[in-house]
Amino acid sequence: MLLSRKFVSDYVDIDVDTKTLAEDMTGIGNEYDSCGKLLPVSNLVIGKVVDCIAHPDSDHLHVCQVDIGQETLQIVCGAPNVRAGLKVIVALNGAVLPGGIIKKSIIRGQESNGMLCSMAELGLEHKFLTEKDVAGIQELPDDAPVGQDPIAYLQLDDEVIDFELTSNRGDLLSILGMAYEIGALYQKPVKEIDTTFAETKDDIKKSFTLDVQTDKCPLFLVKKVTNVTIKESPDFIKNRLIASGIRPINNVVDISNYVMLETGQPLHYYDADRLGDRLIVRMAADEEVLTTLDHQERSLTDQDIVIATLDGAVGLAGVMGGLTTEIEEDTKNIIIEAAIFDSTTIRKTSKKVLRSEASNRFEKGIDPKRTYLALLRSCYLLEKYADATIVGGMVEHKNMPIEDKVIPITVEKINQILGITLSKEEILTIFDRLAFTYKEQDNTLLVTVPTRRTDISIAEDLIEEVGRIYGIDKIVGKPMILPVKPGYVNKDKRYIRHKLADLGLNETLSYALISDKDVYQFTDQQFKPIKVLDPMSEERNTLRYSLLTSLLSIYRYNRARGQKDIRLFEIGKGFYALGDRYYEETKLSILMSGQYWTGLMSQKIDFYILKGILEELLDSLGFQQRYSFVAKAHPDLHPGQSASISINNQIIGFIGKIHPAVEKEDVYVAELSLDKLLAMRVKGMQYKEISKYPAISKDVAFVVDRSITSEMLEKTIKKAGGHLLTSIRLFDLYEGEHIAADKKSLAYSLTFQDMKRTLNEEEVMTIFDKIIHSVTTTYQADLRDK
């Protein structure tokens, strides 16, 4: 919302400079984006060209002598319309214009002390310029006072604040609303708005029919004026429209916009002779077509409100008028519409068709009293500036209450919510400043809120008003006193993240939205991908199922930038649909490639390094001996280097090398469902008695088929070893020239110990032999050193 200082000053006196006003308005909740002069220029005077001769060395430049009152300056000018006798805008040496600073210069051998300006050079936005404004220098009227400030003379010496209003303050989309707000801020009264005009003795109701067929239009008012003269608007109207960001067109169109700016009520003017004597307000038919003012053909639906005659739609209600009944140069008689339309409906239509100054106001809500006011103000201005004759009477459709709200509130409640101690008198002063009236009834204040404040409906809204005007920042923060209780945070994920970082992995943060093309990567689960209805791009149109999709693209990003040792992990959500239900699952994903460094040493990352990290993680979470890695092919993974990870026979994730067809470098990945993992119970840590008696260790190496896994051997050893076997540790794996090609050797260190006594060599050997027997017979194993 662009606020013209001159415009609002019609209705409230402002004693502070514009910057202060903007800051103070921010202090009561109305932020501004920028604030400054309408034309950001300085050092201009009105001059008169007293002599103008062709430049001796140029075919288009002129050398002018310009009288600026105190002195006469020589200025070289290239405009085609420069001539002796013309009153002009002179930018003196040192003048600041949007295009730069004017300096004394020599132009093709002729001294030039300044510049003669066009309107375009003064920084007026392009949309406000006519062809004449761009083509040549501005020609001022003959009576323009030489030596004076041309900006003030043209009444363009305005200042503008660009407010970024909150969506509830539709009332501030009007000069009157702003005047009330500024009045409340500085304790100034708001001045009367003039709506006096003469009317004919006719009654429009006799000659005009209004037929409102929808409940989406609770208020619709019509008046008629005749015999208007279409011409250019007076300067003050044009300038205020420009300051407010609206392009002046002609006096009639400008007045409709001017009144909208003043009152916040958008109006529509129809050429009465093209319209006829009837208006219908109804929902559009599906695929009904209307050509709007901007010459666009619009296809409508039954969700759009239209204004129509019996011949069809003539306007898209609240958004834009139709072309057929537009005000044109020859328009004589006008039907004025002032109406309120359902804000939600307008919002939907305007989102589809066009956001306009009008639709923005309808969406935010209109004060019905302003509907009447705007209609009358329109007549006043049309009579004054367009020679209109106002036809008596008004056609009125009213299907809404127009009453001020009365809200009960107590001083205690206000102070309790704000956390301050205002007296009743202080509070009443604030209501006075807001121009709200009130009555006292016992301990309760009955506050009457005018209809213009559409945003206020409950006591809390009033409390906010009190806080705002009192100065919400004056509230002093205090330590909140509530009963002591422990706060709760689940630290499982935090533990896992710290653990993995300590193990050398870098935590990433990636986008959940990916391309639908990638959603089935690293999975063969049957699910429906979840797509967003209105994606920003095809690259991000679907919620990911696996986080590995993201990690792989992060890997590639880094790899393309020369990074080779890449170790990543992330905890995040994967999404999928089954049937008509949506699911999200928290997952932990890891990706590793390159070298794994320990000090000066490094090791090429392989399956076992990643597996070791997962084992370390699971052990540290309390899952020792409860998990197993079982060879299992997995989509997009190497079939011979992939495994499922289970705990208590429930699969919680997978690990493997990425399939060379997907990624030619050696990249290892794993993904666990943290929802499943963390749902599993883990026993509390408890001290276990340490044996006072010595342990005996025995080493053994088995040569077995390569298909036999270490896990299988360990199970057999454990079973045969019984309770005296306290630990099994694999310390060597050998495949190579000293044993058969289809065999491997696995060497274990076994420890035997008892809690109650010292074991003797003999009994340990008995168990050891039993273990060897069990393994050799179960797996046709040989002992390596025999």
Interacting positions 7-46 with other proteins (CB under 8 A): 26-29, 31
CB of 474 to other proteins, least distance (A): 9
Among residues 427, 377, 461, which one has the least CA distance to residue 10? 377
Neighbours of 753 (CB within 10 A): 18
Buried b (16+ CB within 10 A) or exposed e, 510-525: beebbbbebbbbbbee
Residues 452-471 that bind other proteins (CB under 8 A): 455, 458, 460-461, 463-464, 467-468
CB of 185 to other proteins, least distance (A): 12
Residue 530 sits at the vertex; the CA angle it makes with 529 and 533, to the nearest 5 degrees, is: 135
Residues 352-371 that bind other proteins (CB under 8 A): 363-364
CB of 498 to other proteins, least distance (A): 7
Residues 527-546 that bind other proteins (CB under 8 A): 530-536, 540, 543
111 near other proteins (CB under 8 A): no
511 vs 731, beta carbon nearer other proteins: 511
Among residues 288, 327, 329, which one has the least CA distance to residue 305? 288
Mark the segment that binds other proteins (CB under 8 A) among 37-45, 510-518, 624-632, 752-760.
510-518
Mark the segment that binds other proteins (CB under 8 A) among 309-317, 390-398, 399-407, 494-502.
494-502
Q: What is the largest CA-CA distance in the chain?
A: 130
Among residues 464, 412, 403, which one has the least CA distance to residue 434? 464
- Does residue 305 contact residue 341 with C-beta atoms inside 8 Å? yes
The DSSP bridge pattern shows strands 105-107 and 305-309 to be unpaired
Mark the segment that binds other proteins (CB under 8 A) among 95-103, 147-155, 564-572, 775-783.
564-572
Q: Single out the residue of 79, 500, 667, 713 in contact with other proteins (rule: CB under 8 A).
A: 500
Among residues 226, 239, 181, which one has the least CA distance to residue 200? 226
Q: Single out the residue of 133, 157, 404, 584 in contact with other proteins (rule: CB under 8 A).
A: 584
CB of 378 to other proteins, least distance (A): 26
439 vs 491, beta carbon nearer other proteins: 491
Q: Single out the residue of 6, 274, 398, 573 in contact with other proteins (rule: CB under 8 A).
A: 573
Q: Single out the residue of 285, 293, 422, 472 in contact with other proteins (rule: CB under 8 A).
A: 472
561 near other proteins (CB under 8 A): yes
Q: Single out the residue of 106, 198, 310, 489 in contact with other proteins (rule: CB under 8 A).
A: 489
3-state secondary structure 10-38: CCCCCCCCHHHHHHHHHHCCCEEEEEEEC
501 vs 578, beta carbon nearer other proteins: 501
291 vs 506, beta carbon nearer other proteins: 506
61 vs 434, beta carbon nearer other proteins: 434
CB of 68 to other proteins, least distance (A): 37
Please give the structure tokens belonging to residue 152. Answer: 């003030």
CA–centroid distance for 197 within its chain = 47
- Does residue 291 contact residue 323 with C-beta atoms inside 8 Å? yes
- Does residue 140 contact residue 46 with C-beta atoms inside 8 Å? yes
Mark the segment that binds other proteins (CB under 8 A) among 274-282, 440-448, 563-571, 715-723.
563-571
Please give the structure tokens belonging to residue 685. Answer: 């840590």
CB of 214 to other proteins, least distance (A): 16
Q: Single out the residue of 127, 295, 478, 683 in contact with other proteins (rule: CB under 8 A).
A: 478
162 near other proteins (CB under 8 A): no
Judged on CB neighbours under 10 Å (0-12, 13-18, 19+), 247 is middle
Mark the segment that binds other proteins (CB under 8 A) among 38-46, 245-253, 594-602, 639-647.
594-602
CB of 510 to other proteins, least distance (A): 6
Q: Single out the residue of 194, 507, 665, 769 in contact with other proteins (rule: CB under 8 A).
A: 507
3-state secondary structure 45-68: EEEEEEEEEECCCCCCCEEEEEEC
32 vs 270, beta carbon nearer other proteins: 32
**Which residue bears the tokens 């905890």?**
571
Q: Single out the residue of 15, 142, 502, 737 in contact with other proteins (rule: CB under 8 A).
A: 502
Buried b (16+ CB within 10 A) or exposed e, 650-659: eebbbbbbbb
Q: How far apart are CA 443 and CA 423, in angstroms?
A: 13
446 vs 475, beta carbon nearer other proteins: 475
CB of 418 to other proteins, least distance (A): 5
168 vs 226, beta carbon nearer other proteins: 168
Enclosing H/E stretch for 674: helix 674-679
196 near other proteins (CB under 8 A): no
Q: Single out the residue of 73, 306, 307, 568 in contact with other proteins (rule: CB under 8 A).
A: 568
How many residues interact with other proteins (rule CB under 8 A)? 89
* Phi and psi, residue 123, nearest 5°: 95, 15
Q: How far apart are CA 671 and CA 544, in angstroms?
A: 14
505 near other proteins (CB under 8 A): yes
Grouping H, G, I as helix, E, B as strand and the rest as coil, residue 698 is: strand
Grouping H, G, I as helix, E, B as strand and the rest as coil, residue 741 is: coil
Please give the structure tokens belonging to residue 49. Answer: 């060209």
Residues 374-433 that bind other proteins (CB under 8 A): 416-420
169 near other proteins (CB under 8 A): yes
Q: How far apart are CA 481 and CA 475, in angstroms?
A: 17
579 near other proteins (CB under 8 A): no
Tell me which amino acid residue 33 is: D
546 vs 642, beta carbon nearer other proteins: 546
Among residues 538, 661, 534, 666, which one has the least CA distance to residue 591? 666
